[in-house]
Structure 1
Amino acid sequence: MTTQFTVPDKWKWFTESRYGMFIHWGPYAQYARGEQVLFREHLDHAEYAEQACAWNPEHFDPELWARTAKKAGFKYACFTTRHHDGYCMWDSAYTDYSSAKQAPKRDFVREYVDAFRKEGFRIGLYYSWIDWRLPAYFDGPANDPEGWAKVRDYLHNQVKELLTNYGQIDHFFFDGVWPRNADDLESVKLVETMRELQPGILINNRLGYSEAHDGYRADGGVGAGDSDTLGDFGTPEHLIVVDRKRLWESCQVTTWRLWSHVTGERWRPADYLLDMLCECTEKGGEHGGNLLLNVGPTADGQFPPEFVQRAMEIGSWLEVHGEAIYGSDGGAITEFITRGRQTTRGNNLYLIIRFWDGRPQMRLADLVTKVKGVTLLTTGQRLDFEQIGNELFINGLPKESPSRLFPVIRVECDGKPEANQWGRERLWEGDPARVAAWAREQRGTSVYADGVER
C-alpha cells in the first residue's frame, strides 16, 4: 500500500522549482578525468595533495555562474563543498586543506552562496561523508575506535560549520557512505542538529542504512548509501525513478558519464537533457519529480561552452513553455508515449510533443474532462478542436514543427483533467478484462483477420 505524502509548506519551493543545477568543482578538475580520479586511477596521495594545494582557479566568477544559471531557467543550485578527495571549498576551522588556506586564499562556498542568493536561487550544498585520505574512515569503529571517533567528529563539525556560517541553506546533499552505515556515522543524530540549525532544510537520503530505522541491510548500502526510510528526498542517480514515499530529484550529467570537467567527454544534446526534465516533471506529481542537472566547471573556473550552449537552449524553451514545468502537478493523464509527454497544472493539460508528425490533426484519446480551449503554447495560436465523447481532435496544426525542441499544446479544461479507465490503466497495467472486451466487441474472438470463428 502506497504511503500518502503531503508536502509541507516549507518545502513547496522544491516542487515549484522542478529544475536545479548541480555543480561539481574542485582541484580534481585539473586532471580533467572526473571527480574521482584520485581513487579510480589509484594516484599518489602526496602528489595529489601537492597539486590540490597549488590549484588557483583565476577565472572563477560566481556572479557570472549565477547569471548564466538564471538565464538557463534553473531555480536552485547545489555546490560541492567537499568531494571524496577531502579538499574543502570553504574556510573550515578544522583543516588547512581548503581553498581558503591554500593557493586561492578564497572561500568558494561563501562566494557561491552570496552570488546565487543574490539572483534569487534556493541554496544547496553537497558534502561527502567519505574522505579517501583518512585511514580511520575505512578501518571503522571496530578496528580503530579512537581514530574513527575523531573522523566522525570531524564530519559532524564540518556539516555544522556549513549550516552555521552561510545563512539560510535550503537543500543538503550527502554522498558516499560506503563502507560505513548510519549507525557508525550517527547520521540520525546529526540530522537532528541540522534541523535545529536550519529548520527549513531539505536533507537527502544518502545517510546510510540504520539497523534501528531500516531493519535490514545495515551495511552502508552501495556507494552513496541511499536509505529507504531516512532523508527528506530521494536521489536516483543516472536514473529517473519515482519515490512515492517522499520528494525526489534525479541527478543527471550533461555529458555521457562523469560529473566534473573532463577533456574529451561526449555531451548529450539539448533535446535529450530537456526530455529528462520533462520526464521528471511528468512522473513527479506533488511528490517531487525534479531534475538536478550537473555542470563540471573547468579547472580555471569557467562553465564549459558546450554546457552553456545546451543550458541556454533549454532556458529559451522554458521562457516560452515554463508553465508546463514550473509548479506543475505532474502529468501522464492519458497514454501519450506515441507522441511525447504530458504535465498538468490546475485545469490545464500540457501536451509536450517529442515527435512532431506534420499532420494537421491530432487525436487525444480517453480524456473525459470537458475541454474549453486549446492553444499551441509555442506560438500562442488558438487551435480549433472537437470533443466527441472521450476523444479530443485538435485541428490546424502546422506542417513544420514550431520549435527546434519540443512544441507544447495547452488543453484548457473546465476542471482538473481526468481520464477514463483506458487513460488511467496503460500498457501492461490495469485490468486485463478491459483488453479482452475491447478485442471481443470490435473484432470478435478468432485468430482470422475478420475475427470470426471458423
Structure 2
Amino acid sequence: MISQQFTVPEHWKWFTEARYGMFIHWGPYAQYGRGEQVLFREHLDQEEYAAQASAWNPEHFDPELWAATAVKAGFKYACFTTRHHDGYCMWDSAYTDYSSARQAPKRDFVREYVDAFRKAGLRIGLYYSWIDWRLPAYFEGPEKDPEGWEKVRSYLHNQVKELLTRYGRIDHFFFDGVWPRNADDLQSVELLAEMRRLQPGILINNRLGYSAEHDGYRADGGVGAGDSDTLGDFGTPEHLITVDQRRLWESCQVTTWRLWSHVFGERWRPADYLLDMLCECAEKGGAHGGNLLLNVGPTADGQLPPEFVQRALAIGKWLEVHGEAIYGSDGGFLTEFITRGRQTTKNNCLYLIIRFWDGRPEMRVADLASKVKAVTLLTTGQALPFEQRGDDLWIKGLPAEAPTHLFPVIRVECEGRPATNQWGRERLWEGDPARVAEWARSQRGTSVYRDGRER
C-alpha cells in the first residue's frame, strides 16, 4: 500500500512520466457491434457465439499502423486485451484451442501487438480477465465445485504466467472481472508474487478481489471489477476521475459515450472533452500518478475507427506543443482556477490550461505566493508582460482570439517551486470556515443589509 509519503521507485517512474496510455478492446465480439460484453448482456447462445468467434478473421489488422497512430497521438504506453470475459484468447495459449492462433486467423495477435508497439518505443501493457462466462465452475466456486474450481484457477494462473514469459518485458498488467470470486478463491496474492518473480519491474493493477487477510472479506469480491483497497500497484477508476490516495492510479475512459469495443452507431465524445479528461488526470495527479488510459475499440476487420483517429491525432497535435504541461507533471490544483480551466505544475513552473478563453487582455491568477520570473503563452511561444501585486499575478497582453482550437496554455515560471497561500490550499466547501467569515467581515461588515452595517 502506498502512503502519502510514497516515493515512486525508479523502475515505475516511466508511468508518472507517461501520463497517457492507449487502451485497446478488441476481439471477436467486435463482429456484433454491440459491445465487448454482448455474450453475457444479451445472454446469447454459447455455441453459436463460439462458432462465430472461431470463424472471425480480421484481414486488415496492421499492428504497425496502430502503433504509428498511437505515437503520433501522443500515447506513451498501451494496454491490449489478451482475453476478455468471453474466454477467447488473442495469443497461442498452450491451455486451450479457443484462440486466434488455433482458430481462423492462425495468428498470435498478442505477439504482433507487442512487437509493433515495442518497436515504436511504447511501453507494453496487457489486459487479462479473471472471469470466463463459458466456465460454470468459475461461478460455482470452490465450495460448490472444488475440483472444477481448481481446474479453472490453475487455468487462469497458467495463462497469466504464459503471457509474462513469452513476450519479453511487460510493463503494465491490467486484471479485470473478479465477480463473484475474491482474492482468496483466486489466490491472487500468491499469483502476484509469481508475477513479480517473472517480471520484477511490472506494474499490476488493483482488480485482484478482496482478501480476508488484506482487506476484510467481501462476498462479491468487490463491485464488478473486484477492486482491492490494498492489493495492487495502481488504482483503476473506471468512467470517472478520482484520486487514489494509496497508490499510483490511472482513469480508464472510453472515447465513445459508454461501450469499450467497437459498436455500430455509438456516439463519440469530442476531442476537447477527451483532452480535458487527460488534463484533469494530470491536474489531480500529485506524486501518486494521475494517468489517463483512453480506450479505442477497433473494428471487426482490424482497423482503428476514423472517428477515434481524428480525435486522437488532434490531441496528439496539441501535445506536440503543450506536452510539457502533461508529461511528467506533478499535479496542479495550486490555486483556485476552475473558473478558467486547469493547472499542472512541474519543477518551478505552473501551467495554466485555459478551457474558457474570454478574449480579455488581462488575466488575474489569485493566491500565487511565489515570485514570478517569466510568463509565456506556450501555444505561440510569446513572452507575456505581467505584474505581481501581493499574492495576485496579473498576466497582460493576451490576444482576443484563442490561439488554438483546443486549450491554450500559459507557462508561469517561478523562482522556486510554485507555492500558494491559505486561499489556494483551501477551496470552496473546504478548509477552515473562519477565513470566509473574516473575508466577509473585513470587506463589508456583518449584517444582511447592502452596506453590511447593522441597523
TM-score w.r.t. structure 1 length? Answer: 0.99
Write out per-residue CA displacement over residues 340-377 of structure 1, whole angstroms, 9 at most, x where no aligned residue: 00000000000000000000000010000000000000
| Per-residue deviation, 1:389 | 0.6
Asked if the contact 1:298/1:304 (under 8 Å) is kept, the reply is yes
| Per-residue deviation, 1:218 | 4.8
* 1:202 match: 203
* 2:99 match: 98
**Given the alignment of the two structures, is residue 414 of structure 1 paired with residue 428 of structure 2, yes or no?**
no
Cα distance in 2 between the residues matched to 1:246 and 1:219: 23
**Given the alignment of the two structures, is residue 183 of structure 1 paired with residue 184 of structure 2, yes or no?**
yes
Q: Taking structure 1 as reference, are residues 252 and 214 closer, same or farther at Cα in structure 2, changes over 3 Å only?
A: same
**Given the alignment of the two structures, is residue 330 of structure 1 paired with residue 335 of structure 2, yes or no?**
no
The amino acid across from 1:244 in the alignment is Q
* 1:360 match: 361
The amino acid across from 2:110 in the alignment is V
The amino acid across from 1:205 in the alignment is N
Cα distance in 2 between the residues matched to 1:288 and 1:190: 24
**Given the alignment of the two structures, is residue 120 of structure 1 paired with residue 147 of structure 2, yes or no?**
no
Matching of residues 220-369 of structure 1 within 5 Å: 220-369=221-370
The amino acid across from 1:120 in the alignment is G
| Per-residue deviation, 1:4 | 2.5
Cα distance in 1 between the residues matched to 2:127 and 2:174: 4
* 1:171 match: 172
Asked if the contact 1:210/1:218 (under 8 Å) is kept, the reply is no
| Per-residue deviation, 1:285 | 1.1
Partner-residue secondary structure (3-state), 1:172: strand
**Given the alignment of the two structures, is residue 40 of structure 1 paired with residue 41 of structure 2, yes or no?**
yes
Write out per-residue CA displacement over residues 189-225 of structure 1, whole angstroms, 9 at most, x where no aligned residue: 0000000000000000000000011124253111100
Write out per-residue CA displacement over residues 46-90 of structure 1, whole angstroms, 9 at most, x where no aligned residue: 000000000000000000000000000000000000000000000
Write out per-residue CA displacement over residues 259-284 of structure 1, whole angstroms, 9 at most, x where no aligned residue: 00000000000000000000000000
Write out per-residue CA displacement over residues 248-301 of structure 1, whole angstroms, 9 at most, x where no aligned residue: 000000000000000000000000000000000000011000000000000000
- What is the number of residues matched between the two proteins? 454
* 1:144 match: 145
Unmatched 5+ stretches in structure 2: none
* 1:192 match: 193
Cα distance in 2 between the residues matched to 1:117 and 1:218: 40
The amino acid across from 1:368 in the alignment is A
* 1:379 match: 380
Matching of residues 393-432 of structure 1 within 5 Å: 393-432=394-433
Partner-residue secondary structure (3-state), 1:259: coil
Cα distance in 1 between the residues matched to 2:231 and 2:365: 41
Cα distance in 1 between the residues matched to 2:384 and 2:407: 17
The amino acid across from 1:380 in the alignment is G
Asked if the contact 2:74/2:315 (under 8 Å) is kept, the reply is yes
Cα distance in 1 between the residues matched to 2:267 and 2:382: 38
Cα distance in 1 between the residues matched to 2:104 and 2:220: 38
Cα distance in 2 between the residues matched to 1:448 and 1:125: 63
Write out per-residue CA displacement over residues 286-317 of structure 1, whole angstroms, 9 at most, x where no aligned residue: 10000000000000000000000000000000
The amino acid across from 2:184 in the alignment is D
* 2:390 match: 389
Asked if the contact 2:3/2:247 (under 8 Å) is kept, the reply is no
Q: Taking structure 1 as reference, are residues 132 and 302 closer, same or farther at Cα in structure 2, changes over 3 Å only?
A: same
Cα distance in 2 between the residues matched to 1:215 and 1:159: 25
Partner-residue secondary structure (3-state), 2:101: coil
* 1:215 match: 216
Cα distance in 2 between the residues matched to 1:420 and 1:303: 47
Asked if the contact 2:376/2:383 (under 8 Å) is kept, the reply is yes
Unmatched 5+ stretches in structure 1: none
* 2:70 match: 69
Cα distance in 2 between the residues matched to 1:388 and 1:19: 37
| Per-residue deviation, 1:149 | 0.2
| Per-residue deviation, 1:6 | 1.7
Cα distance in 2 between the residues matched to 1:232 and 1:399: 46
Write out per-residue CA displacement over residues 393-433 of structure 1, whole angstroms, 9 at most, x where no aligned residue: 00000000001000000000000000000011000011100
Cα distance in 2 between the residues matched to 1:276 and 1:59: 30
Cα distance in 1 between the residues matched to 2:289 and 2:447: 46
Partner-residue secondary structure (3-state), 1:392: strand
Cα distance in 2 between the residues matched to 1:9 and 1:85: 37
Question: Taking every aligned residue pair, what percent have the same amino acid on both sides?
Answer: 85
| Per-residue deviation, 1:120 | 0.5
Cα distance in 1 between the residues matched to 2:82 and 2:343: 36
Runs (4+) off by over 6 Å: none
Asked if the contact 2:180/2:219 (under 8 Å) is kept, the reply is no
Cα distance in 2 between the residues matched to 1:366 and 1:227: 38
TM-score w.r.t. structure 2 length? Answer: 0.99
Cα distance in 1 between the residues matched to 2:182 and 2:217: 11
Cα distance in 2 between the residues matched to 1:42 and 1:159: 27
Partner-residue secondary structure (3-state), 1:341: strand
Asked if the contact 2:22/2:70 (under 8 Å) is kept, the reply is yes
Asked if the contact 2:379/2:410 (under 8 Å) is kept, the reply is yes
Cα distance in 2 between the residues matched to 1:328 and 1:261: 32
